[in-house]
Amino acid sequence: MRKQIAAANWKMNLTLGQGKQLMKDILSGELELNENREAVFAVPFPYLAEINTMTAGQKNCYTAAQNCSAEKSGAYTGEVSAEMLSSLNIPYVIIGHSERREYYGETDAILAQKINMALDNKLKPIFCCGEPLAVREKEMQNAHIESQLRAGLFHLVNVQIENFVIAYEPIWAIGTGRTASSEQAQEMHAHIRKVLTDQYGPEIANSISILYGGSVKANNAKELFSSPDVDGGLVGGASLVAADFISIIRSLK
Ligand code: PGA
C-alpha cells in the first residue's frame, strides 16, 4: 500500500521559538500515525536541524527542506545544497513549488537538475506541479501537468522514481481559500497516475504517493483525502495551527 502523507509547508513563517512550540503542540496530539500514514514538516532552512531532532523522536514523522540548490557545491552565496541537507539527515525536500517557479524563475530544466541533486544525495523529493487559473479556464490543465512531469521527472529511470512523492497544487487554490473540489482533485490525480503508468508501468505508478495542495483545511481534508488517488495533502496556512494540522493528519486514509 502506498503511503498516505500529511505534509506541512511552513513557507517563510514563524520564528524558531514559535516553530518549536507548534511542533511540541502537534507532536503531543493523538496523530494516529503508522508506517502507512506519515506526517512531514517542511520548515525553513535555519530550523531544519532542531526540528529534525524533534521529529526523529517520533515514529512516522519526518522533516523536509522547502528547496535545495541545483548546484553541487561552490561559490553560490546563499544557496543550500542537497548534500548539506543530507548531512543533517533530512529525509525529504520539496522541489518545484509554484512559488519557487513563479517568484524565483525556477524553470523545468533547473528543477530537473534539483531532482538529480536530491536523488544523488538520497533525499526523497516532493515534486510539485500545478496549473494557473488561465490554463484551468481553457481546460488545458491535463496537458499542462503532463508537460511539467515530463520536463521535471521523465529523465529518471524506474528505480529512481520509486519512493517519489508528487504534490498536485493548482495555483488558483494556493492560499486563496478556493479549494479544488474532491472531484477535480481525483480527476487530476488519476490523470497523473495514468501518465506515470504509461512511462513507468502500473507497479511503480501505484506506489507513488500523490498529495493534493491548495487551501487544504481541517474542514475539507477528510473529503479530499477520501478519493482513491489522493494520498494526503501538502498544507500551507492550516499547518501553522496545531489543532488544524492535527485534524488534517487524522483525516488521512
Ligand atoms: P495553502 O498552501 O494550504 O496555504 O493553500 C499550500 C501550499 O502552497 O503548499
pLDDT of residue 1: 78
Residue 7 backbone class (left: φ over 0; alpha: ψ -120 to 50; beta: rest)? beta
Q: Is 129 helix (H, G, I), strand (E, B) or coil?
A: strand
pLDDT of residue 178: 87
The answer to whether residue 169 is catalytic is yes
Angstrom distance (rounded) from CA 128 to CA 101? 10
pLDDT of residue 170: 96
Phi, psi of 126 (to 5 degrees): -105, 100
Residue 9 Cβ contacting ligand 1 at under 6 Å:
yes
Residue 169 backbone class (left: φ over 0; alpha: ψ -120 to 50; beta: rest)? beta
Residue 8 Cβ contacting ligand 1 at under 6 Å:
no
| Digitized pLDDT (tens) for each residue of the chain, 253 residues in all | 799 999 999 999 999 999 999 999 999 999 999 999 999 999 999 999 999 999 998 999 999 999 999 999 999 999 999 999 999 999 999 999 999 999 999 999 999 999 999 999 999 999 999 999 999 999 999 999 999 999 999 999 998 998 799 999 999 999 888 888 999 999 999 999 999 999 999 999 999 999 999 999 999 999 999 999 999 999 999 999 999 999 999 999 9
Residue 233 Cβ contacting ligand 1 at under 6 Å:
no
The letter for the amino acid at 83 is E
Domain boundaries defined on the chain: 4-250
pLDDT of residue 220: 96
Question: Is 161 in contact with 204 (CB distance < 8 Å)?
Answer: yes
Q: What is the CA radius of gyration of the chain?
A: 17
Question: Is 51 in contact with 89 (CB distance < 8 Å)?
Answer: no
Max Cα-Cα span within the chain:
47
Which is catalytic among the residues 97, 99, 131, 191?
97
Which is catalytic among the residues 38, 99, 169, 189?
169
Q: pTM of this prediction?
A: 0.97
| CATH architecture of the domain covering 4-250 | Alpha-Beta Barrel (3.20)
The letter for the amino acid at 225 is F
Atom of ligand 1 nearest to the CA of 239: 3
pLDDT of residue 175: 86
Residue whose CA is closest, atom 2 of ligand 1?
236
The answer to whether residue 97 is catalytic is yes
Ligand 1 centroid to 179 CA: how many Å? 10
